[in-house]
């Protein structure tokens, strides 16, 4: 006799496990010959439009320790605010920019991407969102990948009008979503827990 649906129990959740690097960045793990280069390692090619920048930072756990076994992915629009995606219906995407990057953190929890500064993009209802980069973090012990965003400190006017930042503002936590810029380098430290915990999105 079939078991009633209301008696089924939820199965245990699964984390990324210690093997996430093997699947996502095999060359980084010394497994060569599968891909010439790990997917997402290079985001730009010659002729890319826009301002070239380096986005870097550390992933830090609740105890203040670096998370050395995580993988960080980013997605973003190009300099004109257009995504390199099959779901993008606007024309004019930069063919020399992938819009996607993937980087394993090093022993100090540091990640780094060579990319370009994105343009503003339309959000829900067509309202423009400030230039930003979407981050996804996965590591052993994280059941579901964590999503967050990095905004640019020099975009004060656009940030003030951004609908996503507006949701974090009443809590006084919008600062956890804004990088620190020095020259062509933007630093964005990601805190998984603790007093400085980065705002993560349930998407």
pLDDT in tens, 128-183: 999 999 999 998 777 788 999 999 999 999 999 999 999 888 888 999 999 999 99
Q: What's the pLDDT band for 1 if we cut at 50, 70, 90?
A: very low
What domain range includes position 123? 38-191
d(CA 71, CA 47): 28
Chain-wide mean pLDDT for the chain? Answer: 89
Place of tokens 């990640």: 111
| Within-domain flag for 156 | yes
User: Residue 57 has what pLDDT?
Assistant: 98
The half-sphere exposure of 137 on its side-chain side, counting CA atoms within 13 A, is 29
Start-to-end CA span in the chain (Å): 38
| Within-domain flag for 67 | yes
| Within-domain flag for 12 | no
| Within-domain flag for 81 | yes
d(CA 161, CA 8): 46
d(CA 81, CA 94): 10
| Within-domain flag for 199 | no
- Biggest distance spanned by C-alpha atoms of the chain: 68
The answer to whether residue 30 scores a pLDDT higher than 50 is yes
User: Residue 151 has what pLDDT?
Assistant: 98
Token output for 108: 């100090």
Read off the CATH number of the domain in which 167 is found: 2.60.130.10
| Within-domain flag for 58 | yes
Structural domain total, the chain: 1
% of the chain with per-residue pLDDT over 70:
89
Question: Phi and psi at residue 74, in whole multiples of 5°?
Answer: -130, 150
Token output for 80: 């004109």
The answer to whether residue 8 scores a pLDDT higher than 80 is no
């Amino acid at each position: 006799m079939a078991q009633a649906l209301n008696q089924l129990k939820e199965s245990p959740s699964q984390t990324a496990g210690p093997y996430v690097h093997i699947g996502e960045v095999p060359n980084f793990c010394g497994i060569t010959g599968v891909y010439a280069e790990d997917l997402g390692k290079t985001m730009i090619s010659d002729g890319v439009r826009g301002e070239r920048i380096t986005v870097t930072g550390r992933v830090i756990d609740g105890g203040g320790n670096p998370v050395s076994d995580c993988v960080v992915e980013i997605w973003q629009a190009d300099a004109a605010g257009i995504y390199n995606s099959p779901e993008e219906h606007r024309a004019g995407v930069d063919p020399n920019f992938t819009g996607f990057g993937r980087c394993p953190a090093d022993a100090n929890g540091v990640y780094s991407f060579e990319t370009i500064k994105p343009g503003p993009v339309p959000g829900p209802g067509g309202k423009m969102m400030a230039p930003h980069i979407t981050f996804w973090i996965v590591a052993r012990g994280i059941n579901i990948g964590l999503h967050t965003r990095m905004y640019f400190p020099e975009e004060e006017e656009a940030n003030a009008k951004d609908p996503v930042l507006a949701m974090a503002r009443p809590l006084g936590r919008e600062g956890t979503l804004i990088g620190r810029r020095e020259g062509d380098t933007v630093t964005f430290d990601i805190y998984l827990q603790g007093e400085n915990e980065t705002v993560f999105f349930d998407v």
